[in-house]
Amino acid sequence: MAPRQSQILAQRDPKTFPGHYQAHCSSIDTVSAVLDEEVQTKHIEYFQGYGQICEPGLPLELPAHMKESILMLPKMAEMREDIQISEGNNDEEKLQAKKRKYREALVRQRRADLKKYRESWIHVERDQNILNRGKGKPLHVVKDICTRAQYLIMPELARIATAMACTAELTFEEKLFFPGDLRTLCSRKEDVIYLPNEQPIEGFCPAQGCQLEIEK
């Protein structure tokens, strides 16, 4: 905490949180002005901006298998069993209290696991960014369910979208794949969409040993 504070304001008080005054820091590069050099404000922009805390793509919820594993925890299973027993005791108030306690425990456990999952995700992403020499990877956020389904069914569409959204120069191999993906996408039949490796081969079923004719 102290090094970050002293870089801008020489703040010595460890109780003062830098976020309270970072946005009010002066953007004047005094050293460059005195030495008659080109102004450098990158370090000031870093402290005044959100780049130091922004994590694009940070997971908002746990994966399905982690949610399922939480339900299988012994304490959660014990609470559900206790609720089932209470359902036959005709004590509605006590039953609702146990259900409320179960929901609170479930939410608390999910929040704790989500925090750990996010921390692990951040470490992996930062390590990968170091290995990539800071170039990172193109952020491709897909919010529409139909679009995600199309990307799974038509991998060439996903590759085309990723290449078009990429701001870095494409590699030679990516440039070679791009026309082929365009041709594959344009030659698809609009009335029938097959999963990868399941499209008919010369009008017949692609399964080995099956000669069933398939109408497109």
Confidence band, pLDDT 50/70/90 cuts, at residue 6: very low
Give the pLDDT confidence score for residue 76 in this predicted structure: 92
Residue with tokens 């991998």: 155
pTM of structure: 0.46
The DSSP letter of residue 23 is G
User: At residue 14, does pLDDT exceed 80?
Assistant: no
Least confident window among 1-15, 141-155, 194-208: 1-15
Give the pLDDT confidence score for residue 20 in this predicted structure: 52
SS3 211: coil
Q: Distance between CA atoms of 91 and 71, rounded to whole angstroms?
A: 25
207 to each of 144, 188, 199, how far by Cα in Å?
Answer: 32, 20, 10
Average pLDDT, the chain: 76
For residue 201, what are the β-bridge partners?
Answer: 204
% of the chain exceeding 70 in pLDDT: 76
Give the pLDDT confidence score for residue 105 in this predicted structure: 93
81 to each of 74, 75, 92, 93, how far by Cα in Å?
Answer: 10, 10, 16, 17
Give the pLDDT confidence score for residue 5 in this predicted structure: 40
196 contacts: CB under 8 Å, gap ≥ 6 = 153, 155
Q: Which two tokens stand for residue 56?
A: 């694009």
Q: Distance between CA atoms of 201 and 72, rounded to whole angstroms?
A: 45
Give the pLDDT confidence score for residue 23 in this predicted structure: 52
Confidence band, pLDDT 50/70/90 cuts, at residue 135: low
Give the pLDDT confidence score for residue 2 in this predicted structure: 41
Give the pLDDT confidence score for residue 70 in this predicted structure: 92
Residue with tokens 């919820």: 61
Q: Distance between CA atoms of 51 and 200, rounded to whole angstroms?
A: 49
Encode pLDDT of 138-175 as tens digits.
Answer: 555 555 667 777 777 778 888 888 888 777 787 888 78
Encode pLDDT of 61-117 as tens digits.
Answer: 898 889 999 999 999 999 999 888 888 787 888 889 999 999 999 999 999 999 999
Q: Is the dihedral of CA 180, 183, 186, 191 positive or negative?
A: negative
Q: Which two tokens stand for residue 186?
A: 């344009």
Residue with tokens 């006590």: 94
The DSSP letter of residue 60 is S
Longest dimension (CA), the chain: 84
The DSSP letter of residue 188 is S
Give the pLDDT confidence score for residue 167 in this predicted structure: 76
Q: Distance between CA atoms of 72 and 25, rounded to whole angstroms?
A: 50
Encode pLDDT of 33-74 as tens digits.
Answer: 788 888 877 777 777 776 677 777 888 889 888 999 999 999
